[in-house]
Chains A and B, each alone.
Chain A
Amino acid sequence: MLAALAVIWIGFHVWSGGSFITPRNLWNLSVQTAAVAIMATGMVLVIVSRNIDLSVGSMLAVIGMAMALLQAEILPDIIGFDHPATWIIALLAGIAMGAVLGGFQGFIVAYVGVPSFIVTLGGLLVWRGAAWAMASGRTIAPMDSTFQLLGGGARGTIGGGWSWVVGIVACVGIVAMLANGRHQRRKFDFRMRPLWAEITLGVVGCGVVLGSIGYLNSYFLPPRLAAQRAEAEGLVIPPEGLEISFGLATPVLIVILVALVMTFIATRVRFGRYVFAIGGNPEAAELGGIKTKWTIVKTFAVMGVLVAIGAAVQVARLNAAVSGLGQLTELYVIAAAVIGGTSLAGGIGTIPGAMLGALVMQSLQSGMVLVGVDAPIQDIAVGLVLVVAVALDTLYRKKSTQ
């Protein structure tokens, strides 16, 4: 997977004459990938549990529309325009809505027994229609000024300094995780990795994190914006020009947070283990005393929450909500999960894999835009890559199990 990503990146870098692997392009790529990556983590659990969710694109539209209406038309009348609490009320309302809509679909799948393909295909139509009906097809804009930060953009970044802080925290986390793992294994007297291997892992991990941050930090604000910023903060502009880093964008921070939480859910708590057990053998899960139906409802509810977060990022980035928001997104999200190694037969999939899958898909698309491939050809390429990626993966798995 990493190899495929490297091929795509280097390929486009050469093809575009050296403009793909640049701080600016990678920064944009990180922001563009965010929404799909966030939702792909939930799609992994849905697919692992032997289900599918085709409704995420439409649900993104209806939730995005609801959040937009709330902050642009409803809340200003109640608490005033651009009130500091607007963004969090809108976001939490969206998340609650996502949990309810997703959980409702999950309920029909689990308790009524309608296949998830059908339930969410219905959802795809219903939520899209609802998004239109909510505002009679109008475009809702603008968003609350704080809410907009969720989408990134020149203001929605944390700057170079804080990006380094995030990087250092990540490094501390990596070291702590390795140390804790070692400590636990010693406590139970299990076999341990040699110390040099642990140290190498730590150094490589931290190196990758800090290297990426450093590279992204060399994407600077355009001179005009930098000058404005300097003026606002009372800085003196040095004669050689001012270099202010964008730093990590808010959507990227959200992705990191979602990745951590979802990995934790998938691997460290009962719910995640049950999702995998259900995917592996539903009968065994049932006989083991697992509440399989309730677990499925929760899986879809989690998916709904992630759709809401994805919707917030999208709406904030566009600074508007339209009823066509998120069209075909379900397919990108499913493709990201599948390219990331999630098996449609259920039982197999990882959160980091799906996020990497999202990055592969987005790299491909951005790359083609960069080198000026026509839109229809882009679709053809993405479609082919999806099939080839899964075919290679299937062949590889067959070989490794023989």
Chain B
Amino acid sequence: MTQETITRTPLVEMRDIRVAFGGVHAVDGVTIDLYPGEVVALVGGNGAGKTTLIKTLSGAHKCDSGEIYIRGEPVSIDTPRDAKDYAIETIYQTLALAENIDATSNMFLGRELRTRWRTLDDRAMEDAARRVMGRLNPKFQNFKVPVQSLSGGQRQSVAIARAVHFNAKILIMDEPTAALGPAETEQVNELIQQLKAEGIGIFLISHDIHDVFDLADRISVMLQGKLVGTVNKADVTKDEVLGMIIMGKQPGEATRAELDQLHE
């Protein structure tokens, strides 16, 4: 295989994904893809179907129809465990942390390190947690206290550390900075750049284009369960993306007057 073909095979390709709840089409025939070392922002208003779409990739939901390809190979992802086997890690908007157990245990939840007696190797896990956290958030020291006593930013660190520790190749971040202050947001943004440089593909989900415009290489816009379109960030303005999010109009389709209205 030449360098050319490696880079041309998408890391992830989701084709014609459909998910319905009752009669409502939450995701209606959406096709998106992601290349190594790329950040694809998945944007859209509330209820656009972003989270549902991405949950079919992280194994939290099954899709009713459609195919998922990882590095060109068709795969079926039925459980979160399947997704993790394909090195897909997800940072959920809710963070998905068990509040009553400590940061270390949360990081290793479902993938505990064990001694040769098959007992939990808490100290080895704490050691590993300290190492990965030393890279992400060196100030973090509360490895042994229940997560419920941590601040929003610290919890976010735990959720990110969990995704990063297990050598994700594909990272899904659902509103990663929604609960964070400006300094912490900056930290997460730096991390995204760093992970990207390591060749990890990242889906960045947000309802607000301003949060992700600077980070994204490409932007996929969803509206009412359908894909409006995917654009290269270099080719569009924020206003044009806003037009896609709100009106479902392709870049260039919306008139200046319509775009100006968005700001009123």
Interfacial residues, chain A to chain B (CB-CB below 8 A): 184-185, 187-188, 190, 264, 267-270, 273, 276-277, 279-281, 283-290, 347-348, 401
Cα distance, A37 to B111, chains bound together (Å): 32
Q: Is the CB of B126 within 8 A of A190?
A: yes
Q: Which of B160-191 contact A (CB under 8 A)?
A: none
Q: Determine how close the nearest CB of chain A comes to the CB of B191; give it in whole angstroms.
A: 21
Q: Is the CB of A190 within 8 A of B123?
A: yes
Q: Determine how close the nearest CB of chain A comes to the CB of B226; give it in whole angstroms.
A: 26
Partner of B98, one of A187, A190, A285, A289: A285
Q: Is the CB of A347 within 8 A of B100?
A: yes
Partner of B114, one of A270, A347, A348: A270
Cα distance, A309 to B126, chains bound together (Å): 36
Q: Determine how close the nearest CB of chain B comes to the CB of A334; give it in whole angstroms.
A: 20
Interface stretch among B28-36, B89-97, B211-219, B242-250? Answer: B89-97
Chain B positions within 8 Å of A184 at CB level: 123
Q: Is the CB of B119 within 8 A of A280?
A: no
Q: Determine how close the nearest CB of chain B comes to the CB of A351; give it in whole angstroms.
A: 16
Q: Does B153 contact A (CB under 8 A)?
A: no
Q: Is the CB of A277 within 8 A of B101?
A: yes
User: Nearest chain-B residue to A185 (Cβ)?
Assistant: B123
Partner of A286, one of B80, B84, B124: B80
Q: Is the CB of A273 within 8 A of B96?
A: no
Q: Which of B202-216 contact A (CB under 8 A)?
A: none
Q: Does B230 contact A (CB under 8 A)?
A: no
Q: Determine how close the nearest CB of chain B comes to the CB of A281; give it in whole angstroms.
A: 4
The 4 A-B residue pairs whose C-beta atoms are closest, nearest first, are: A280-B98, A288-B110, A280-B100, A347-B100
Q: Is the CB of A289 within 8 A of B111?
A: yes
Q: Determine how close the nearest CB of chain A comes to the CB of B117; give it in whole angstroms.
A: 9
Cα distance, A46 to B173, chains bound together (Å): 34
Cα distance, A59 to B96, chains bound together (Å): 36
With A270-B114, A290-B109 already in contact, the answer to whether A284 and B97 are too (CB < 8 A) is yes
Chain B positions within 8 Å of A286 at CB level: 60, 80
Q: Which of B40-85 contact A (CB under 8 A)?
A: 58, 60, 79-81, 84
Of B79, B98, B101, B109, which is in contact with the most chain A CB atoms at under 10 Å from its CB?
B98
Cα distance, A32 to B239, chains bound together (Å): 76
Q: Determine how close the nearest CB of chain A comes to the CB of B147; give it in whole angstroms.
A: 8
State the interface size on chain B (CB cutoff 8 A): 31
Tally of A-B Cβ pairs under 8 angstroms = 79
Partner of A289, one of B80, B105, B149: B80
Q: Does B112 contact A (CB under 8 A)?
A: yes
Q: Is the CB of B99 within 8 A of A280?
A: yes
Q: Which of B103-133 contact A (CB under 8 A)?
A: 105-106, 109-112, 114, 118-120, 123-124, 126-127
Q: Is the CB of A284 within 8 A of B109?
A: yes
Cα distance, A284 to B60, chains bound together (Å): 11
Q: Determine how close the nearest CB of chain A comes to the CB of B110; give it in whole angstroms.
A: 4
Chain B positions within 8 Å of A283 at CB level: 94, 96
Q: Is the CB of A281 within 8 A of B97?
A: yes
Q: Determine how close the nearest CB of chain A comes to the CB of B199; give it in whole angstroms.
A: 24
Q: Is the CB of A280 within 8 A of B112?
A: no
Q: Is the CB of B101 within 8 A of A280?
A: yes
User: Nearest chain-B residue to A345 (Cβ)?
Assistant: B100
5 pairs of residues in contact across A and B, judged by CB atoms under 8 Å: A184-B123, A185-B123, A190-B126, A285-B110, A286-B60
User: Nearest chain-A residue to B147 (Cβ)?
Assistant: A280
Chain B positions within 8 Å of A185 at CB level: 123
Cα distance, A279 to B92, chains bound together (Å): 19
Chain B positions within 8 Å of A280 at CB level: 98-101
Cα distance, A347 to B106, chains bound together (Å): 13
With A184-B123, A188-B124 already in contact, the answer to whether A287 and B99 are too (CB < 8 A) is no
Q: Determine how close the nearest CB of chain B comes to the CB of A178; give it in whole angstroms.
A: 15
Q: Is the CB of A188 within 8 A of B109?
A: no
Q: Is the CB of A288 within 8 A of B96?
A: yes
Q: Is the CB of A188 within 8 A of B123?
A: yes
User: Nearest chain-A residue to B90 (Cβ)?
Assistant: A287
Q: Is the CB of B99 within 8 A of A347?
A: yes
Cα distance, A190 to B114, chains bound together (Å): 19
Given contacts A284-B94, A284-B95, A284-B106, 18 further A-B contacts (CB under 8 A): A185-B123, A188-B127, A269-B119, A269-B120, A273-B101, A273-B109, A276-B100, A277-B98, A277-B101, A279-B100, A280-B100, A284-B109, A286-B80, A288-B80, A288-B109, A289-B80, A289-B81, A289-B84
